Chain A
């Protein structure tokens, strides 16, 4: 057992899958010689050669289109978006071509589109995005957003082996700030399964990615005031693990959703609707949400801090909810 960073977990997952399966290739901007803008693919070119680690021009649509074409031959491409913000440059290719193929003409496209996402690192409006919900709205895709090195490795491996297109978001704030001991051998974490990070009985906090850690921090503060929050890490947003969510809310009867994505159209709204449909009788209070503001991600540290959720905001809202 060795403690590794989130970044190292991503690299290990790609390295091990490429070593085990010649159908796995990596394609993206600066992924080869440079080793990726964040060094997540460092050393892969040297090990696997230029045919399997493909540096491309700055053409997100072409990269994703080409990966889709490769998948039609039984290959399993991993696509790196240098920053996940740029995934929208390939929006049409993903939502119309890649996502619809299996339903329409029985064409599976096993591919992973992964990249660094999220704010809190002063990347500004075009290097801090959380664009997951554009894609959660697209049937045919899977959307994964891990919060720990263990999960990052296990979920990325499972995503590469999955027979569907998977969008894999890596919160860059976590890349080097987290270390975790992970098992030496091969393991996967199943897609579509949430996990209870902290058990509690007074209310449920649902979160994912960097905000999972913020939620845990708030839960510790709540505990000091006698409020035991159950914190659930969603891990996969599409398909959503309804069972784990409902099980927890049926126990605590209260639910707060925390995400770094902006408020309107975020997953919290979808979860609120789900709870209204399937657990309305068991709710003792409103489903509340702590999210980023409905603005672009601002650049100045003062503005970004105001934009993002934090443990204090989660704590305050959770206390409010606990009063019901």
Chain B
């Protein structure tokens, strides 16, 4: 970390430095408030901590613009706060209150906002957000919006099938998509070495021919500046990017898990690398924060969170009858999302839409034997010789297909 401090300093304004500090503190205070609520039995279900990982949620989401889209995972409360979600939404979600964004229908960080904040809700199945956010990215490109999409995955989630399907698809589409891989060394009780035989999970990017970075996940400035570079790279049409942020999960998988399986030495090592303490020392040294400024910020946080906590605690549970309704989108007012075209629609409608692709794969599409309406189908009524011929054509075509994305790896900074 110290090696990069002076170089990075020039890139951020004083306001940005203090923003990063504020959101990391907010992230931690929100979670500590929830830990107290959990102990008071006010949280209905599980509580998942991102203690020690705040620099990743905050630093990466801070690199996004308002128009950009994100989808958090369970340990990305910080990203939601940066994107503009008020703490009360996070409290009410965990407490299953009727005033929560999902009106008590789901908990934790499982909520979204398509219209204003551009947040897609996660589900508990890991990896599913990767193709979904790829879809948002290519949909945005189609509409002419210059958006970038971002989501997160853990070391554990990087072994799911849909992680690979999604990242490969994103690569094949050169989607403006940034994936943050938070390697916190533990998937519940299983250490990363038992999950993946790789030193760096960023190496997974090589398999898709996409760029990757490795960052110290406990250094918010490094996280932010790298994410910023990645976001702009993706926005410029250079394809998806994988950032591995190395960190450590300081609490158990959830509140109920004392995490006794974690070696003492490992825990002690990381306890000394608290991202907020490290950053605070840096800010003080660089004279960006003094005792007075810190006190003011803390007072602001305390008063905000007390107000937000009160709101959540005093909110009602959802009335029983609200269990009904909303399974389907029905009625005129239900679907309010209209495509926001930022390019002429004529470009995607005939006759202009029959354009060539902006990138091509050599050989792809040649040798097509279009027999029009008389084209055979595979089963039922196809003479054997025709079927064989067709199968050969198909396999020949498939072997021509190659990923178009360029490999531009930049790892191990």
Contact = CB atoms under 8 A, between A and B. Distances in A.
Interface string A107-118: 110100000000
A101 interface: yes
Main DSSP-derived SS at the A contact region: loop
18 contacts: A7-B377, A8-B373, A34-B368, A37-B377, A38-B378, A46-B354, A51-B348, A51-B353, A56-B172, A61-B162, A61-B165, A69-B133, A69-B136, A73-B139, A74-B340, A104-B110, A127-B378, A173-B380
Interface stretch (B46-54, B122-130, B226-234, B295-303): B122-130
Nearest to B380: A121
A134 interface: no
Of A63, A71, A73, A93, chain B has the most CB atoms within 10 Å of the CB of A73
A66 B125 contact: no
Contact of A103 (B149, B173, B327): B327
B20 interface: no
A103 B132 contact: no
Interface stretch (B3-11, B57-65, B80-88, B331-339): B331-339
Main DSSP-derived SS at the B contact region: loop
A35 B370 CA distance: 9
Contacts of A46: 354
Contacts of A34: 368, 394, 397
Contact of B337 (A22, A56, A108): A108
Contacts of A178: none
A188 interface: no
Contact of B340 (A73, A106, A173): A73
A318 B329 CA distance: 39
Interface in B343-383: 345, 348-350, 353-357, 364-365, 368, 370, 372-373, 375, 377-381
Contacts of A102: 326-329
A19 B354 CA distance: 12
Given A22-B348, A51-B142, A61-B131, A103 B326 contact: yes
B101 A110 contact: no
A69 B134 contact: yes
B166 A74 contact: no
A203 interface: no
A107 B114 contact: yes
Interface string A37-79: 1110010001111111010110111111111111111110100
Contacts of B364: 33
Contact of B128 (A72, A77, A96): A96
Nearest to B113: A105
Interface string A1-45: 000000110000000000100110100001001110111001000
Contacts of B148: none
B138 interface: yes
A242 B110 CA distance: 35
A185 to B, nearest CB: 19
Given A75-B339, A97-B123, 19 more contacts: A34-B368, A34-B397, A37-B378, A51-B353, A61-B131, A61-B166, A69-B120, A69-B139, A70-B135, A72-B337, A96-B128, A102-B329, A104-B105, A104-B110, A106-B102, A108-B335, A121-B381, A163-B330, A172-B377
Contact of B125 (A35, A96, A101): A96
Nearest to B357: A50
A101 B327 CA distance: 8
A251 interface: no
A311 to B, nearest CB: 18
B168 interface: yes
The 4 closest A-B pairs by CB, nearest first: A69-B135, A65-B131, A66-B135, A121-B380
Nearest to B121: A105
Contacts of B334: 108, 163
B111 interface: yes
B372 A139 contact: no
B339 A23 contact: yes
Interface in B98-126: 101-102, 105-106, 110-112, 114, 120-121, 123-125
Contacts of B329: 102, 108, 110, 163-164
Contacts of A120: 380
Interface in A143-179: 163-164, 172-173, 175-176
B102 A104 contact: yes
B320 to A, nearest CB: 16
A93 B105 contact: no
Contacts of B338: 74
Nearest to A8: B373
A110 B335 CA distance: 9
Contacts of B173: 54
A92 interface: yes
A140 B355 CA distance: 37
A263 interface: no
